[in-house]
């Protein structure tokens, strides 16, 4: 879907003696704005330096459409392939960081700078070698990435003659001027030259026709092609305009080139505006127009001529345009882009080395979907984590929703929904881009003996196998359960599989957040064994409280225990069985647990 101008410029009465031109109308595909958004977030950031982009125009549009210059998602790739029979146009993108900069930018200076470059290419002869230098454009933009409002203003610099261009012979259709066989010869010669040069279209070309033969050549071969300057000189221009009495914008700068190079020896030039339309499978160029103009004599000095080119807005005034893409975007994709926005902004100035991909791709297993589990899950989503799995065996009670933000009153009805399943479902409602799962299962614990019935034993074995499978499938394990002993088995399994474990526990006005140590791989341990035996223990004993301890030497939640974990809920009153803590503590501990994970992942060995 393209966003652009729907207006068609109709100049005044065609009987006027001065030549007038139909300006370009900008057509920006939604893919261009998407690509600009990605470039701005990930590559340009705060960089406002000009960028080279590529568009194209087409001379085969149906009648009634304006002469469009189109930018697509491939505009930033200079090596991208063009569509068949489209002509490339190269331009400069000025993308501003603020709307105020966009409004206050010196448009006159930008136009003059681009016009001077075109003029220099004409004087130096570079435009003869590469005629695409005549069809440059400017694009001034500001992207409001929070609201998906994109402000832009196009400029198609065109150098002007002081007194304009006078018409000698008015424009007529090619079909009214030449026989069909000569028109077919022109079309064949054009196709052969395009094929020979390996290009999709010729922006400008030279023409000689005699009776039934037509010969065309490249612009740079002017001197050899027109050895007899006394004869009529005919040039062709790839013309995107559909109007029957007016040429398109690309002719303007070419006439400046012709006047500068050959104005002293040429009185007039015949111009063919080449239009190549395919309707119902039939190719036709008979609607192309041909006319003759008088070249002004000695009107161009050494200085760059006056230039025009800023595009009018939808109201017909001189001003920028704006397009809002939020309504036409997939809401889920829009949510994903918005979630990533604040994270990517961190990389612009505050933390340029932040590796977001490592955080976003981390697969997190949350053992416990209570007060801590809800807080950790919300913070993980804030960091852009896309894979979150809950494990819990409890159901939502009426006391939960006020402290556990993933649940609401309706979840408590009819005995309450399983916490793990409800939490996973709520995450997907909050942000559809997250992949969340819930498992309603128990974790076998020391001090809590399993009934010796076959059914209970089979279920316990099944729970252990599933827990081991889940830990193996995730990168980070969060221990967020109510009791101390419930953390023992996951800690042992995670240590055996070398998984990063983050442990969080609450008191009334205290909390603990810690990471478990991560053993070195066996092959690395054997290589370092001599060094470790000689100095490992002494280093730890002699180190100060604030020394950095290697991660592989850190302990776990149970390393200082002198007895095995037992049943911490037996013979306890209600206030001792429940986790009684200050309501704000879980959010603090949950946030710190996630921030600890992020810090570890950003370590070179994380």
Give yes or no: residues 297 and 385 share one domain.
no
Tell which wins on pLDDT, 289 or 546.
289
Residue 9 has pLDDT above 50, yes or no: no
Interatomic CA distance for residues 375 and 373, integer angstroms = 5
Q: 168 is written with which tokens? A: 């000698």
Model confidence at 3, in pLDDT bands (50, 70, 90)?
A: very low
pLDDT of residue 10: 39
Residue 320 has pLDDT above 60, yes or no: yes
Domain end, chosen from 258, 284, 313, is at: 313
pLDDT of residue 502: 97
Interatomic CA distance for residues 476 and 54, integer angstroms = 45
Region 341-345: mean pLDDT is: 86
Residue 12 has pLDDT above 80, yes or no: no
Give yes or no: residues 136 and 282 share one domain.
yes
Q: Between the CA atoms of 437, 439, 440 and 444, what dihedral angle is there, to the nearest 10 degrees?
A: -150
Burial class for 526, CB neighbours closer than 10 Å (0-12, 13-18, 19+):
exposed
- SS3 assignment for 300-354: CCCCCCCEEEECECCCCCECCEEEECCCCCCHHHHHHHHHHHHHHHHCCCCCCCC
Q: Is position 68 within any domain?
A: yes
pLDDT by residue (tens digit) across 466-510? 999 999 999 999 999 988 889 999 999 999 999 999 999 998 899
Can you list the positions of beta strands (E) in 412-534?
435-440, 476-479, 500-506, 511-515
pLDDT by residue (tens digit) across 33-76? 999 999 999 999 999 999 999 999 999 998 889 999 999 999 99
Query: CB within 8 A of 202, min separation 6: which ones?
Result: 87, 190, 193, 194, 216, 218, 236, 238
Q: Is position 67 within any domain?
A: yes
Cβ(293)–Cβ(168) under 8 Å? yes
Q: Is position 324 within any domain?
A: no
pLDDT by residue (tens digit) across 160-205? 998 889 999 999 999 999 999 999 999 999 999 999 999 999 999 9
Model confidence at 539, in pLDDT bands (50, 70, 90)?
A: low
Q: Is position 546 within any domain?
A: no
Tell which wins on pLDDT, 6 or 231.
231
Model confidence at 348, in pLDDT bands (50, 70, 90)?
A: confident
Q: Between the CA atoms of 400, 402, 403 and 406, what dihedral angle is there, to the nearest 10 degrees?
A: 80
Residue 13 has pLDDT above 70, yes or no: no
Residue 605 has pLDDT above 70, yes or no: yes
Q: Is position 127 within any domain?
A: yes
Residue 209 has pLDDT above 80, yes or no: yes
- Is 412 known to be catalytic? no
**Angle, nearest 10°, between helix axes 454-473 and 488-496?**
50
248: DSSP letter: B
- Tell the residue number behind the tokens 């069985």, with chain if given: 577
Give yes or no: residues 273 and 360 share one domain.
no
pTM score, two decimals? 0.80
**Number of domains the chain contains:** 2
3-state class (DSSP) for residue 436: strand
How do beta strands 387-392 and 435-440 pair? Answer: parallel
Q: Is position 323 within any domain?
A: no
- Which residue range forms the structural domain that includes residue 412? 331-518+554-602
Give yes or no: residues 408 and 475 share one domain.
yes
pLDDT of residue 135: 95
How does the average pLDDT of the chain come out, rounded?
A: 88
- SS3 assignment for 539-576: HHHHCCCCCCCCHHHCCCCCCCCCCCCCCCCCCCCHHH
For 368-446, where are the alpha helices, taking DSSP H only? 371-382, 419-430
CATH of the domain at 455: 3.40.50.720
Rounded (to 5) percent helix, strand, coil in the chain: 35, 25, 40
Q: Is position 341 within any domain?
A: yes
Residue 7 has pLDDT above 50, yes or no: no
pLDDT by residue (tens digit) across 60-70? 998 889 999 99
Residue 525 has pLDDT above 60, yes or no: no
3-state class (DSSP) for residue 509: coil
Find, among 406, 398, 442, the residue nearest to 422 by Cα: 406
Domain end, chosen from 282, 313, 344, is at: 313
Cβ(389)–Cβ(437) under 8 Å? yes
Find, among 23, 274, 69, 259, the residue nearest to 171 by Cα: 274
Tell me the chain's radius of gyration from C-alpha atoms: 36
Give yes or no: residues 162 and 286 share one domain.
yes
Give yes or no: residues 254 and 390 share one domain.
no
Region 22-35: mean pLDDT is: 94
Find, among 575, 367, 587, 403, the residue nearest to 485 by Cα: 367
Give yes or no: residues 336 and 309 share one domain.
no
Give yes or no: residues 279 and 393 share one domain.
no
Q: Which of 273, 556, 559, 578 is catalytic?
A: 578
Residue 451 has pLDDT above 80, yes or no: no
Give yes or no: residues 300 and 335 share one domain.
no
Residue 97 φ then ψ, to 5°: -85, -25
pLDDT of residue 299: 65
Interatomic CA distance for residues 552 and 463, integer angstroms = 29
Q: What angle do CA 491, 492, 494 make, to 5 degrees?
A: 65
Region 83-100: mean pLDDT is: 95
Give yes or no: residues 413 and 472 share one domain.
yes
Q: Is position 223 within any domain?
A: yes
| Helix (H) or strand (E) run with residue 53 in it | strand 51-58
CATH of the domain at 231: 3.40.140.70
Return the exposure string of 537-550: e unless at least 16 CB atoms fall within 10 Å of the residue's CB, then b. Answer: eeeeeeeeeeeeee
pLDDT of residue 535: 47
Give yes or no: residues 295 and 346 share one domain.
no
Interatomic CA distance for residues 70 and 89, integer angstroms = 9
How do beta strands 137-144 and 86-96 pair? Answer: parallel
Q: For the residues of 482-500, what is the DSSP string, one character each?
A: SSSGGGHHHHHHHHHTT-E
Give yes or no: residues 438 and 306 share one domain.
no
Residue 350 φ then ψ, to 5°: -75, -50
């Amino acid at each position: 879907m393209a966003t652009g101008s729907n207006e068609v410029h109709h100049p005044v009465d065609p009987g006027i003696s001065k030549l007038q031109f139909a300006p370009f109308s900008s057509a920006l595909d939604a893919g261009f704005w998407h690509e600009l958004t990605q470039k701005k977030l990930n590559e340009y950031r705060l960089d406002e330096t000009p960028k080279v982009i590529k568009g194209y125009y087409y001379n085969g549009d149906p009648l009634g459409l304006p002469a469009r210059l189109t930018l697509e998602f491939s505009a930033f790739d200079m090596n991208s392939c063009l569509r068949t029979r489209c002509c490339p146009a190269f331009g400069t993108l000025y993308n501003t960081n603020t709307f105020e900069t966009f409004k206050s930018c010196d448009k006159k200076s930008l136009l003059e700078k681009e016009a001077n470059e075109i003029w220099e290419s004409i004087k130096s002869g570079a435009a003869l070698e590469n005629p695409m230098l005549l069809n440059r454009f400017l694009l001034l933009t500001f992207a409001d990435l929070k609201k998906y409002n994109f402000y832009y203003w196009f400029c198609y610099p065109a150098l002007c003659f002081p007194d304009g261009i006078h018409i000698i012979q008015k424009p007529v259709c090619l079909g009214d001027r030449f026989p069909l066989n000569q028109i077919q010869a022109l079309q064949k010669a054009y196709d052969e030259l395009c094929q020979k040069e390996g290009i999709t279209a010729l922006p400008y070309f030279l023409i000689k026709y005699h009776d039934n033969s037509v010969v065309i050549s490249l612009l740079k071969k002017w001197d050899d092609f027109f050895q007899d300057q006394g004869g009529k000189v005919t040039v062709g221009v790839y013309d995107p305009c559909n109007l029957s009495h007016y040429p398109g914008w690309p002719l303007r700068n070419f006439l400046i080139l012709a006047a500068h190079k050959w104005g002293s020896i040429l009185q007039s030039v015949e111009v063919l505006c080449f239009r190549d339309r395919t309707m119902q499978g039939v190719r036709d160029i008979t609607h192309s127009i041909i006319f003759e103009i008088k070249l002004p004599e000695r009107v161009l000095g050494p200085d760059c001529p006056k230039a025009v080119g800023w595009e009018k807005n939808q109201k017909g005034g001189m001003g920028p345009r704006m397009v809002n893409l939020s309504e036409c975007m997939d809401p889920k994709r829009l949510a994903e882009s918005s979630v990533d926005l604040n994270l990517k902004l961190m990389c612009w100035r505050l933390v340029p080395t932040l590796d977001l991909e490592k955080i976003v791709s981390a697969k997190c297993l949350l053992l416990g979907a209570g007060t801590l589990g809800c807080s950790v899950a919300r913070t993980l989503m804030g960091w852009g984590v896309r894979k979150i799995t809950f494990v819990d065996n409890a159901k939502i009670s009426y006391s939960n929703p006020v402290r556990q933000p993933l649940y609401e009153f309706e979840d408590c009805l009819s005995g309450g929904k399983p916490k793990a399943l409800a939490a996973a479902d709520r995450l997907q409602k909050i942000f559809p881009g997250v992949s969340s799962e819930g498992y309603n299962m128990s974790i076998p614990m020391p001090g809590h003996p399993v009934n010796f019935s076959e059914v209970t034993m089979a279920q316990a074995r099944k729970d252990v196998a599933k827990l081991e499978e889940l830990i193996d499938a995730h990168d980070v394990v969060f221990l967020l359960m109510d009791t101390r002993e419930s953390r023992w088995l996951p800690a042992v399994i995670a240590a055996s599989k070398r998984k990063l474990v983050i442990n969080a526990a609450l008191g009334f006005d205290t909390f603990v957040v810690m990471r478990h140590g991560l053993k070195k791989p066996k092959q690395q341990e054997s290589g370092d064994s001599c060094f470790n035996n000689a100095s490992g223990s002494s280093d730890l004993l002699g180190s100060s409280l604030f020394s950095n301890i290697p991660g592989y030497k850190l302990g776990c939640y149970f390393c200082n225990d002198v007895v095995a974990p037992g049943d911490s809920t037996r013979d306890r009153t209600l206030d001792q069985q429940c986790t009684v803590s200050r309501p704000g503590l879980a959010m603090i501990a949950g946030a710190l647990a996630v921030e600890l994970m992020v810090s570890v992942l950003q370590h070179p060995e994380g």
